[in-house]
Homo-oligomer: A and B are copies of this chain.
Amino acid sequence: MTTLPDNERPDHEHTYMRWDGWGDPTRAHGLPGGVKLLLAAVLGRTPKAPPARRLAEVTISSPPLAADDLAALAEAVGAEQVDAGHDVRLLHAGGKSTPDLLRRRQAEQAAPGAVVLPASEDEVVAVLAVAVERGLAVVPFGGGTAVTGGLEPDAGPHRGVVSLDLRRLSGLVAFDELAHEATFLAGTTAPVAEMFLAERGFELGHFPQSFEFATLGGFAAMRSSGQNSAGHGRFDAMVTGLRVVTPTGTLDLGRAPGSAAGPDLVRWFLGSEGTFGVITQVRLRVHPTPEARLFDAWTFGSFAAGAEALRNVAQLGTGPTVIRLSDEDETAVSLAQVGNIGKALATGCSAVVLHEGPAGLAAARREATGRVLREAGGEPADAKLAASWDHGRFKAPYLRDALLAHGVFCETLETATTWSNLHALKTAVTAALASGFAEEHAKNRVLCHISHVYPTGASLYFTVIAGLGTEPLEPWGRVKSRVNDAIMAAGGTISHHHGVGSDHAPWLEQEIGSAGIRMIRAVQAELDPAGIMNPGALVQRTTAQW
């Protein structure tokens, strides 16, 4: 492992995502005409949403941190890296779920009391020490792309909330060409990491929808899954080591591949969602930039037939990098691609497949997968569909913004289960959505795809559009709660993609049991006895903990 001189770091442009929507404000767009027509057909007239609120128009429900708190934090990171300004506080007020965005339209909003931007692990240690000493909660903030309430400025029993923005903790720390390992500071965004790796002929290949803005530390804290996870594994599987600062000590974990030296503590931090400490470095398995990238599209007569085909591929291990299958409704809106929504309605179910690697190996993998898909009744379709999916795959959140502006509620949700339970789970979620929206008198359309496959099962990803009126937050809360109950009753997991946050926390005990909750709380109490780390996320803490 070569440690690079003084870390290779990118310039830190302190740019922020659009505060009440997704991504780069200059890439925001209106609704394509085809989509408008489709929406009119499906949902009827929808009420125009109230105009977006400007930052300056919002009242923050709590004051900024007191001057002595700010002075103590300034001691830790330097005065210019502590910001308790109105706008910056609001820019760290939450993540990017649809409810998050809807709350951005309210006159009064919650926000952290200050934002601090450490530039080193030592500064993170110092910030946590200040927070413990002064009774402040700390919410680690990476790319700000969370969608399950993991960035709520929840003080718990403390006096205030510090948003610990990790953007200055960015860069490549070490690169091991022989071991195919790269160590990054945790605040490095995925595109910046790919830039550093590309210069060396390597790539990480982790492409969740949040790719353009999310950080490596965030991926680790949330157990992120990416669109190429069929080939490279979930982010979990890429992490070979972590450094973590906790209020009671720093850990350097992941000594060797395949260790049997007790439980794998790296896995204890993956999914801890900032409640155990702050991940400061992530060591990752990387791979050479593939020589070949072979996209294919396939069509199946039914979702059931397509799912069987994907199951066979996953269980045989023929090695696709991407393999995903849209259901009939999603296929009908042309793989849910921005540019194609509303265009020629396809029949059956479409699948997108990608094989990568050295040219010969990629071709062999493609052929092996193709044989399985064909035997399962698949037919090759126009490969342009796959290339078009690839081209548009990070654009969906911009479309959501346009839909919300048009008065159309739009959200995604996801779960996973075994192959044998997959259709029952899909039916249960679809039924819960249908009955939930019926209760709210909301016309709707539900699209679904299999986004990730494993030898033993797969994930289901649902996209929902609905006419929930001008005040959709509470109605959606009721629908979502009903869906979560249905997922648990049908044996699914409360999250495959997005984590627990505060939104799914009430269902976690059903998933892991009361003893499981106690295990997580025991580690929180050991590493963070004051309970300052992200109090709103993962488990509903008891007052006894504080």
Chain A positions near chain B (C-beta within 8 angstroms): 1, 176, 178-181, 222-225, 229, 234, 236, 240, 246, 248-253, 255-265, 267-273, 285, 287, 311, 315-319, 357-358, 360-361, 364, 368, 371, 415-421, 452, 454-459, 491-500, 504, 508, 511-516, 518-523, 525-527, 538-539
Contact = CB atoms under 8 A, between A and B. Distances in A.
A89 to B, nearest CB: 28
A404 B286 CA distance: 46
A256 B519 contact: no
B261 A504 contact: yes
Copies of this protein, total = 2
A72 to B, nearest CB: 24
B499 A260 contact: yes
A419 B229 CA distance: 24
A494 B262 CA distance: 10
Nearest to A539: B262
A491 B181 CA distance: 15
A224 B253 CA distance: 20
A363 to B, nearest CB: 11
A499 B261 contact: yes
Given A267-B268, A523-B522, A494 B315 contact: no
Name the residue in A271, A519, A521, A525 with the highest tally of chain B Cβ atoms < 10 Å from its Cβ: A519
A319 B253 CA distance: 28
Contact of A416 (B258, B459, B499, B513): B258
Name the residue in A246, A263, A311 with the highest tally of chain B Cβ atoms < 10 Å from its Cβ: A263
Nearest to A415: B256
Contacts of A522: 522-523, 525-526
B420 A493 contact: no
Given A268-B519, A315-B287, A258 B452 contact: yes
A358 B271 CA distance: 36
A366 to B, nearest CB: 12
Contact of A494 (B261, B265, B364, B368): B261
A305 to B, nearest CB: 14
A180 B257 contact: no
A513 B243 CA distance: 11
A317 B315 contact: no
Nearest to A414: B260
Contacts of A271: 260-264
Contacts of A222: 260
Nearest to A277: B515
A257 B493 CA distance: 9
Contact of A519 (B236, B491, B527): B527
A201 to B, nearest CB: 13
Contacts of A419: 178-180
Contacts of A260: 222-225, 234, 271, 493, 495-500
Contacts of A514: 249
Contact of A420 (B1, B224, B236, B418): B1
16 contacts: A1-B421, A179-B419, A234-B258, A248-B515, A255-B491, A255-B492, A256-B415, A256-B416, A258-B457, A259-B511, A261-B511, A263-B268, A264-B271, A268-B268, A360-B368, A519-B526
Contacts of A179: 418-421, 456-457
Nearest to A288: B315
A455 B272 contact: no
A208 B393 CA distance: 44
Contact of A456 (B180, B253, B527): B180
Per CB-CB distance, the 6 closest pairs between chain A and chain B, nearest first, are A522-B526, A256-B493, A249-B515, A267-B267, A179-B418, A257-B454
Name the residue in A268, A368, A498 with the highest tally of chain B Cβ atoms < 10 Å from its Cβ: A268
A270 B263 contact: yes
Contact of A515 (B234, B251, B518, B539): B251
Contacts of A515: 246, 248-251, 527
A236 B419 CA distance: 21
A512 B262 contact: yes
Contacts of A516: 251, 253, 265
Name the residue in A262, A419, A420 with the highest tally of chain B Cβ atoms < 10 Å from its Cβ: A262
